[in-house]
Amino acid sequence: MTIKTEHLRDFKALLPENQWTEDQNIIAPHLSEWRDKFHGSTPLMLMPMSTADVQKILILANKAEVNLSIQGGNTGLVGGSTPGLENREEILVSLKKMSRVEAPCSDTMTITVEAGAILSTVHTEAEPYHFPLSLASEGSCTIGGTMATNAGGIHVIRYGTMRHLVAGIEAVLPDGTIFSNLGGLKKDNTGFDLQNLLIGSEGTLGIITKAKLKLFPKPNTLVTGWLSVHDIDKCLPLMNALQTLSNQGLHAFEVMGKTGLDFVEKHMAGKAPVSQLAPWSILFDIEIEGPDSLEKALAECLDSGAITDAVIAQNKAQQKALWALRENLSEAQKYEGGSIKHDISLPLEQLASFMKQAPHRIQSIVKGARPTPFGHFGDGNLHYNIMQPETMAKETFLNHWPEMNAAIHDLVCSMKGSISAEHGIGTLKREELALRHPEKVAAFKKIKAALDPKDILNKGRVI
Amino acid sequence: MTIKTEHLRDFKALLPENQWTEDQNIIAPHLSEWRDKFHGSTPLMLMPMSTADVQKILILANKAEVNLSIQGGNTGLVGGSTPGLENREEILVSLKKMSRVEAPCSDTMTITVEAGAILSTVHTEAEPYHFPLSLASEGSCTIGGTMATNAGGIHVIRYGTMRHLVAGIEAVLPDGTIFSNLGGLKKDNTGFDLQNLLIGSEGTLGIITKAKLKLFPKPNTLVTGWLSVHDIDKCLPLMNALQTLSNQGLHAFEVMGKTGLDFVEKHMAGKAPVSQLAPWSILFDIEIEGPDSLEKALAECLDSGAITDAVIAQNKAQQKALWALRENLSEAQKYEGGSIKHDISLPLEQLASFMKQAPHRIQSIVKGARPTPFGHFGDGNLHYNIMQPETMAKETFLNHWPEMNAAIHDLVCSMKGSISAEHGIGTLKREELALRHPEKVAAFKKIKAALDPKDILNKGRVI
């Protein structure tokens, strides 16, 4: 369906000339994303400067029945922010010009920012406080995008996902109603929780324009450690022991399989801090009073056989070197050919069982395929990647993607896990969500139809 | 509208005989509440034993178009759980027979409980762990009720409200759909946040039947202290200083005005721990390494004049005595005649300004009325009670209730505060919510109509 010329004219008339463009050269970077999986199109990009601008856009979109695609930093991985997919015609609304960041408030330990602010800018502006959301894309992702997708990252074990870091929001609902909740109240029982409904709805139920974010004191010096573990069953008790020892002081607790670390050593000049890699390696950051107690506890774990090696970084350079091993896991896999990826989460008590069962399911589909799991074990979140067998053609292997996904997700769902832990649904996982959770999607559709009866906002995403 | 006899028969036929009653003697305690403000009626009380029972009830209620009133421990204060108000006829659904509590899981630090479990039972069953929700009504309120109302209480400053203590829920939506989310996942971005939508919706959007609750290590020994403060502006900086000193170790931070404490001394044989009460007294519980640092910090506050007195409880008896002063505040007020009550919250940075402005507004309505504020300052939550002038007739004073409410709530709303911090909306505040936040209520109505088109569930509450 083509957007009528008169409607394009009306949208352009809403905003000053520097807040819209039809120049396809300027628009181009907004039409694809870094994995190069989704390619979209749009005749017009609008760049509101205020909540009032967003309101005007939504009111007109409803009147003209024109679809809108909402975009922050365009760093999503599931085709949520690309306009014009699936033969829709959509006007693109980019929040990037709404990027004001207020000074942090020390009385309330909060910072108020507009949706288009870049995450790393917020890190800087929050000084001397700490805004803990930390993502690989933090140099380009926006606060609005991290709210729309309830972003996760490395430090969820300590601070929770984005949802838990938001003290208040301002948003425009699909019909143009402004919902303003910027008081940052810690207690407010005046009806349904619209704020949490909007956070994580991937721009389908409203456009979040502003947020009051929670700040934290800068953590004390973190101790970084590496543990070798032979038995995956030991990981959860180890994590709980470290939490108890440090009064819930873990800031990260990552588990990595040997296969992936072998790739890092082979292709990325990485060097594990132990003479021989165990089947499982743990990397952790911990805030702890008196590191002696940590050393003592690890010595006991060595004695009991729970771990077979333990290394504590002695300085910043060593900390960085340990983290580089973890951070290079994704890159190193590229040298080994095709990879089928999963962004799953599991109840903590099911993680070990999953790790044991999944390889059998994989082998029954492609013999020789190599599971390369790693991830935020402390949050139950695994990036469960499966590398092609060494001798198979990449394309042949990748043709098994749907079958492999189905097998892994079957196992995940049988264990009450999630088929999208942190990346969201977007366009990519919409059909599978409907298949896996028809009861949830039925409720989502009712809520969407109630708040956005003309399906103006981010149509085709999530549901 | 009277429920047809054939419909009553159909509902009774759904459940075994020990799961329903028409005996008005048995039903009577469910028809009024402890403040004796609401008096209801019902022809039939159903007592489901399982999520499947609840599902059957909802499916039939939709088919027969019969209204249901949902009740937990019946300890609410806003007429949310009383059946048959405002000339509705409703079948009462009591969750009290669904009270199973599983053993706590030490791997995941969670406990799974049914909605009818009593809060204090959960405290006991959670041993050796700590379930931190603490309310005056904990001996009779149910976990289901605390979820439906997003209960708060004393320790919100440390652990958040009930919403933050829930790892997962099982619920039945109004049309009978079962929404099961008991995996307790820390990361799950598969669509809209139904869990938080149901929590705090006061039983209007679904019946929560089960929950997986978060447990915590028992806190280390808490230090209890009392501070005298002349200038209300000092309270927030004091709180922030204690948080920094203890690495966010405050478990409670209560502020009390002199008027209320005078009443406790006069009527309840209470004795403040200082020779002369200051205009403001602070009572705090703190988890802190090395109490010496606390004493040093308080000595500095005395030197700077931020506080004029400081007392640290030296043993459990002293701790208890300090807390008794706080806990007797409500009771003591009864001896002073009529009291107009408010359950409000404010942005932290507005609390002091509110405390200074409110008395002027009060005096302009009833000269001589005595503000008796106290509350969970650390959460921005004040129980802002106003006592009658000593010489006025109680009824005369209480006739000013609506006018006084309007004045206080005007000020609260102008400061982005909440007219219901922890008690919810129920029947009591429905009209005022619609008046204060028409934009929110319009959205609530759309969501309610989408999920419960026949308005079966807790009709007339919230919206």
Radius of gyration over every alpha carbon of chain A, rounded to an integer in angstroms: 23
Judge contact between B396 and B404, C-beta under 8 A: no
* Mean pLDDT value across residues A405-409: 97
Looking at chain B, the number of H-run helices and the number of E-run strands are 17, 16
Judge contact between B324 and B255, C-beta under 8 A: no
Judge contact between A118 and A141, C-beta under 8 A: yes
B379–A190 C-beta distance less than 8 A = no
- Render pLDDT for B291-347 as a digit per residue (tens, 0 to 9): 799 999 999 999 999 999 999 999 999 999 999 999 999 999 999 999 999 999 999
Rounded (to 5) percent helix, strand, coil in chain A: 40, 20, 40
Structure tokens at B53: 């029972």
- Render pLDDT for A74-95 as a digit per residue (tens, 0 to 9): 999 999 999 999 999 999 999 9
> Which among B179, B193, B217 is the nearest to A197, CB-wise?
B193
Radius of gyration over every alpha carbon of chain B, rounded to an integer in angstroms: 23
pLDDT for residue A338: 95
Report the distance separating Cα A35 and Cα A391, nearest Å: 25
A354-A358-A361-A365 Cα dihedral, nearest 10 degrees = 150
B54 contact partners, CB below 8 Å, separation of at least 6? B48, B93, B172, B207, B209
Report the distance separating Cα A220 and Cα B68, nearest Å: 53
A186–B345 C-beta distance less than 8 A = yes
Report the distance separating Cα B136 and Cα A403, nearest Å: 54
Report the distance separating Cα A136 and Cα A159, nearest Å: 17
Q: Which residues are registered as beta bridge partners of A46?
A: A20, A93
Pick from B340, B339, B344, B368: nearest CA to B355: B344
A91 contact partners, CB below 8 Å, separation of at least 6? A3, A8, A11, A42, A43, A44, A45, A46, A61, A66, A67, A68, A69, A83
Report the distance separating Cα B308 and Cα B272, nearest Å: 14
B441–A347 C-beta distance less than 8 A = no
Q: In chain B, which residue's Cα lies nearest the Cα of A245?
A: B217
- Going from the C-alpha of A214 to that of each of A182, A217, B40, B152, B166, the distances in angstroms are 12, 10, 43, 19, 20
Structure tokens at B258: 């002199």
- Render pLDDT for A122-172 as a digit per residue (tens, 0 to 9): 999 999 999 999 998 999 999 999 999 999 988 999 999 999 999 999 999
- State the smallest CA–CA distance between residue A27 and chain B in angstroms: 28
Q: If pLDDT is split at 50, 70 and 90, which confidence band does A317 have?
A: very high
Amino acid at B396: T
Q: Residue B449: its chain A contacts at CB < 8 A?
A: 450
A442–B177 C-beta distance less than 8 A = yes
Please check whether residue B449 touches A, CB under 8 A: yes
Structure tokens at B67: 């209204």
Judge contact between A377 and A389, C-beta under 8 A: no
Percent of chain B with pLDDT over 70: 100
- Render pLDDT for B93-119 as a digit per residue (tens, 0 to 9): 999 999 999 999 999 999 999 999 999
Q: In chain A, which residue's Cα lies nearest the Cα of B444?
A: A192
What region does A424 belong to: left with phi over 0, alpha with psi -120 to 50, or beta?
left
- State the smallest CA–CA distance between residue A271 and chain B in angstroms: 31
- State the smallest CA–CA distance between residue A265 and chain B in angstroms: 30
Listed by number, the residues of chain A in 84-123 with a beta carbon closer than 8 Å to a beta carbon of chain B are 105-109
Q: Render A326-391 in DSSP notation, one character per residue.
A: HHTHHHHHGGG--EE--EEE--GGGHHHHHHHHHHHHHHHSTT-EEEEEEEGGGTEEEEEEEPPTT
pLDDT tens for chain B, 463 residues long, are: 689 999 999 999 999 999 999 999 999 999 999 888 899 999 999 999 999 999 999 999 999 999 999 999 999 999 999 999 999 999 999 999 999 999 999 999 999 999 999 999 999 999 999 999 999 899 999 999 999 999 998 899 999 999 999 999 999 999 999 999 999 999 999 999 999 999 999 999 999 999 999 999 998 889 999 999 999 999 999 999 999 999 899 999 999 999 999 999 999 988 999 999 999 999 999 999 877 999 999 999 999 999 999 999 999 999 999 999 999 999 999 999 999 999 999 999 999 999 999 999 999 999 999 999 998 999 999 999 999 999 999 999 999 999 999 999 999 999 999 999 999 999 999 999 999 999 999 999 999 999 999 999 999 999 9
Residue keyed to tokens 């009774």? B12
- Render pLDDT for B261-279 as a digit per residue (tens, 0 to 9): 999 999 998 899 999 999 9
Q: In chain B, which residue's Cα lies nearest the Cα of A150?
A: B189
Residue keyed to tokens 């949802």? A163
- State the smallest CA–CA distance between residue A43 and chain B in angstroms: 29
Half-sphere exposure (CA, 13 Å, Cβ side) for B62?
Answer: 15
* Mean pLDDT value across residues A284-293: 90
pLDDT for residue B1: 62
B197–A197 C-beta distance less than 8 A = yes
Residue keyed to tokens 């043709």? A399
Q: Residue B234: its chain A contacts at CB < 8 A?
A: none
Q: In chain A, which residue's Cα lies nearest the Cα of B441?
A: A191
Q: Is the pLDDT of residue A176 over 70?
A: yes
Average per-residue pLDDT in chain A?
Answer: 96
A416–B182 C-beta distance less than 8 A = yes
> Which among B107, B152, B197 is the nearest to A187, CB-wise?
B152
- Render pLDDT for A344-380 as a digit per residue (tens, 0 to 9): 999 999 999 999 999 999 999 999 999 999 989 999 9
Size of the A and B interface in Cβ pairs below 8 Å: 243
First to last CA, chain B: 20
Q: Residue A240: its chain B contacts at CB < 8 A?
A: 106-107, 109
B197–A192 C-beta distance less than 8 A = yes
> Which among A244, A289, A381 is the nearest to B187, CB-wise?
A381
Q: Residue A244: its chain B contacts at CB < 8 A?
A: 217
pLDDT for residue A1: 62
Q: Residue B462: its chain A contacts at CB < 8 A?
A: 191-192
Global pTM value: 0.97
Please check whether residue A365 touches B, CB under 8 A: no
Q: Residue A415: its chain B contacts at CB < 8 A?
A: 183
B193–A200 C-beta distance less than 8 A = yes
Judge contact between B126 and B133, C-beta under 8 A: no
A255 contact partners, CB below 8 Å, separation of at least 6? A232, A235, A280, A281, A282, A373, A374, A375, A377
Q: Which of B187, B235, B246 to mutate to test the interface with A (most CBs of A within 10 A)?
A: B187
Please check whether residue B382 touches A, CB under 8 A: no
Phi and psi at B283, nearest 5°, equal -120, 125
Judge contact between A383 and A375, C-beta under 8 A: yes
Judge contact between A82 and A28, C-beta under 8 A: no
Q: Which of B106, B192, B205, B448 to mutate to test the interface with A (most CBs of A within 10 A)?
A: B192
Mode of pairing for the β-strands spanning A67-71 and A90-94: parallel
Query: Counting beta carbons within 10 angstroms of the beta carbon of residue B140, is it exposed (0 to 12), middle (13 to 18) or buried (19 or more)?
Result: middle
Report the distance separating Cα B23 and Cα B131, nearest Å: 36
pLDDT for residue A424: 97
> Which among B289, B418, B437 is the nearest to A289, CB-wise?
B289
Report the distance separating Cα A422 and Cα A74, nearest Å: 16
B185–A346 C-beta distance less than 8 A = yes
- State the smallest CA–CA distance between residue A6 and chain B in angstroms: 31
Report the distance separating Cα B276 and Cα A149, nearest Å: 54
